[in-house]
Structure 1
Amino acid sequence: MISSSLRLARTSMLALFLAAGALAAPVMAQDAVPAAEAPAAEAAPVAPETVVATVGGAPITEADLSFAAEDLTQELSQMPEEQRKPFLLRVLIDMKVMAKAGQDEGMAETPLFQQRLAYLKDRALRRAYFADTIANSVTEEAVRAEYDKFVADFVPADEIRASHILVPTEEEANAVKTALDGGADFATLAKEKSIDPGAANGGDLGFFGPGMMVAPFEAAAFALTDVGQVSAPVQSQFGWHVIKLEEKRQSSAPAFEQVASQLQQQLLMATFDKTVARLMDGVAIDIPDAALKAAVDSQTETDAAGATAQ
């Protein structure tokens, strides 16, 4: 888990690219459109220089729409897809009109605007470098190689499938255990007596491993050794449980599709860290404020420690 605020800020670029579609998730074989279902002809891609509108003679292009989409990812995620392009175009029209007004009033010549322009240029170049040099290097083949390493290092753990009957008091739990010892059907009794939302399916909790349940419940469940065995009543913060062991197994590595996105992000961040370290090598950095320099150095060390721990 990365807690450094600096590292979180650096990963915001990753979030931007993932959300804006600059870095697509690995394409899985089953995601491909079967030949029988494929459209007869795909629409030709729209060229970035295609003009979608003019405002006072100034063009707005498809490229402009994509740039705006990068800046407005959060807003776009909250609206239907068919509304996004009109929304972006409306924003760009407003931008053109207000930019022209600012230009006419001489705002572009002020020192502060020139500083802002330099910052925006650096930001745009950083974004382009990230996309072209870093993001493009994280291919599906690279992600699959990471998955192969993950599978090779995977250590199976014990998992069990259990059902339970949850009641408010110890007295009721003892009565349930007595009924079960007398031959009552567990699933039927769960539907009749259990206050757990899963009672409708006989109290079945599915498979779970260590650390997934509250401690008293987990200890009692994993103490059961034989399939079909029923525990003595055990108390947790939710009430009193009577637990039945349904199945036992060893966990297996998740399928590629389940972890591809996570592995992709990890690989992207590792590539980002290595690239930045290479670019920073030999670069002189001077921070005159001693306190600020100490804080930056401390944050950088924390960031590096977080990257190493992954």
Structure 2
Amino acid sequence: MNLAHWRNWKKFLAVGVLLLVVMAGCNTGSRPTVTDIPAQAERTPQPPVEPSPTATITATPEPAALIINGERVALREFEASLIQLEAADRDLAIQRSDEERIRLVANDLIEQTLLAQAARENGFSVDDEQLNNRIQQLIEDAGGRQAFEDWLSQMGYAEEGVFRSALRRAMEAARQRDQVVASLPPQIEQVKARQIVVRLRSTADSLYRQLQAGADFATLAFQYDPLTGGDLGWFPRGFLTVPAVEEAAFGLQPGEYSGVIESDFGYHIVQVEQRDESHPLSGEARLTLQQKILQEWLEARRAAAQIEMLYP
């Protein structure tokens, strides 16, 4: 992570001072000094003086925007994340309402916190030395301490302490994220297929009848997709944007084709060319499945979490 990609977003403690004032007794006439009082003077017995209680100072908690499983996310960190999202939206000319930005920031911080909590449960936490080393690297990447502090201010971090808390959580969350997606094996069951997609049901039905009469699937596919011939390449379950096409493909053997499948894109007929029980994942397929695994993990974790939204 470098500064260009970092998002991915006190009340003063009032201390009362106890002032103990001891007043000397007064006589009629002149005010006595210590030497004016006879050592053996008869005095009225006084009850023992109880020691004054020591004032206890209780720190005022940092105002929180979220509480996830008892862990507080500081209001100042939440507001910094909002500043970062607003800046990103301006750069990309994205229009969002304030309510949508608040929801996006809240979801991001909730997911980060759930990941960081799981990392600590699994025995990984970022100590001060690791955190200091990372910050020092960021300072060097920024071009020096002053440039780093200017960047902190631009990102909404009025104090480095708020940034340290956010960075620690992000580092722990990244570790857990890596652990979750590492469960995906490098090779899994996949099929290699191609499809024909048309806009009209009548056209799809006509193509299906031609296939039943012995027409070549690839020849027909190139008529409707001259560039690729409808080639879908190798793909695993959970990859295609049309689940019905994917489901049909995994139900076919090499050389077989499906019936007409309706979707928002039109009408599909799919043919499987090859199957492999353990085929290497492409980079795109790996990324898609990793995102799917991570999202499923977060949904399960979130369903079991206790979350309080305190902002605004």
Q: TM-score, normalised by structure 2?
A: 0.38
Larger fraction in helix: 1
Task: Determine which structure has more spread, i.e. the larger CA radius of gyration.
Answer: 2
